[in-house]
Amino acid sequence: MSAARISQKGARRVAAGHPWIFRSDVERRPSDEPGVVAVEDHRGKPLGSALWSPASEISLRMLDHDARVIIDAAWWDARIESAIRRRAPVAARANAYRLVHGEGDGLPSLVCDRYDRWLVVQLLSAGLERHRDAILAALVRHCAPNGVLARNDAAVRTREGLPRETTLLMGDVPREIEVEEDGVRFVAAPWEGQKTGAFLDQRENRALVGRVARGRALDCFSYHGSFALHLARGAERVTSLDISAPALERGRANAALNGLANIEFVEADAFEYLRAAERRRDRFETIVVDPPAFAKSRAALSGALRGYKEVNLRAMRLLAPGGMLFTASCSFHLSRSLFHEMLEAAAADSGRRIALRELRGQPLDHPELLTVPETGYLKGALLEAID
């Protein structure tokens, strides 16, 4: 096996705790097929092992900084076991959560989500794909699932020279899986749903919203209604809004599953609905704004900022005195500080006095590493209209 030799710049990045080495920092490319390769610095000093992706701009992803360690089935098993063990506090409250959050768990380009007795994985690099059997064996050993589905339809696979596909790796995985979080039940759609079938990253925020919900409530980008379900526990009436009719259909089914009759489902564009509600002088005691990623790229950031500011300022105006707004952004390109600035600008234009009650980040099962900004994307804030 030939070692990959990397530039001084690449080695500095690795030493600072980032696992990625870009194509431009690879001074000698290994001749090997994708898989695990040894990495050395520009003087030939061993730096450890990495996943090798010849077609990708992210050519190497560090796995282990100890050059003596062999990346075998036992290595994958131990890393996966420690990721699973870290989730114990979440497992006590929910049966749907992320078991492996890629780089955040020292398992670059691997995602694994648990939905009750089933697992959904994403293998997002060519190097990782070669170790599929060892990864699958470890997951089966530690979770004993009824089935494992690979949602390998993510666009990033193309950049790795990998096909986009959804394939069953083991057992059977149903089209719909009923799961539970903090006493609320909902149905996940592992084969066709967004991400791996549900938005698991908002679990703690849904619980927070459930605790502060009261009066009339509005969930603006509701998807399958998971915020709306938690709102409905504390609020008198909830309006669950989404532009997608099939998403609302699932929301209705979820409400029925929980015996909740106080949610109305409205198919509408959130921007238009908020403008119209403002004209009607509607008021809400509790509002949730959890839009899709408006900034899919850095270039889209300024347009996205206008969108975020508009929905937030309109939601602020609709708050009853003392009302609470939970707002989030899942755009990686919108940094925490830009998110904060956007909320300040929205508050300034809303004409309301808005207090910051809590800033929120990612839950325990989506670890955000300080040295790897790409592991973080979700930001949230709980705001209160003072008068």
Tell me how far, at minimum, the Cβ of 206 lies from ligand SAH, in Å. Answer: 7
Tell me how far, at minimum, the Cβ of 226 lies from ligand SAH, in Å. Answer: 4
Which residue, 227 or 339, is less far from ligand SAH as judged by CB? 227
Judge contact between 156 and 176, C-beta under 8 A: no
Which residue, 164 or 275, is less far from ligand SAH as judged by CB? 275
Q: Rule CB under 6 A: is residue 290 a binding residue for ligand SAH?
A: yes
Which segment (137-145, 242-250, 348-356, 362-370) binds ligand SAH by CB under 6 A? Answer: 242-250
Residue 33 DSSP code: P
Q: Which stretches of the chain are DSSP H helices?
A: 8-15, 73-86, 88-91, 126-129, 132-143, 156-159, 203-212, 226-234, 245-257, 270-279, 301-318, 336-350
Tokens 């992803």 correspond to 61
Q: Rule CB under 6 A: is residue 265 a binding residue for ligand SAH?
A: no
Tell me how far, at minimum, the Cβ of 259 lies from ligand SAH, in Å. Answer: 20
- Nearest-CA neighbor of 113 among 377, 363, 295? 363
Which segment (56-64, 104-112, 238-246, 276-284) binds ligand SAH by CB under 6 A? Answer: 238-246
Q: Rule CB under 6 A: is residue 270 a binding residue for ligand SAH?
A: yes
Q: Rule CB under 6 A: is residue 181 a binding residue for ligand SAH?
A: no
**Residue 219, H or E segment:** strand 216-219
Count helices and strands (H / E) in the chain.
Answer: 12, 20
Which amino acid, one-letter code, is at 2? Answer: S
Tokens encoding 235: 């609020």
Q: Rule CB under 6 A: is residue 308 a binding residue for ligand SAH?
A: no
Which residue, 224 or 317, is less far from ligand SAH as judged by CB? 224
Residues near 292 by Cβ (< 8 Å), separated by ≥ 6?
221, 330
Q: Rule CB under 6 A: is residue 207 a binding residue for ligand SAH?
A: no
Which residue, 6 or 270, is less far from ligand SAH as judged by CB? 270
Q: Report the interface residues with ligand SAH, using CB under 6 A.
A: 199, 202, 221, 223-224, 226-227, 241-244, 247, 269-271, 290, 292
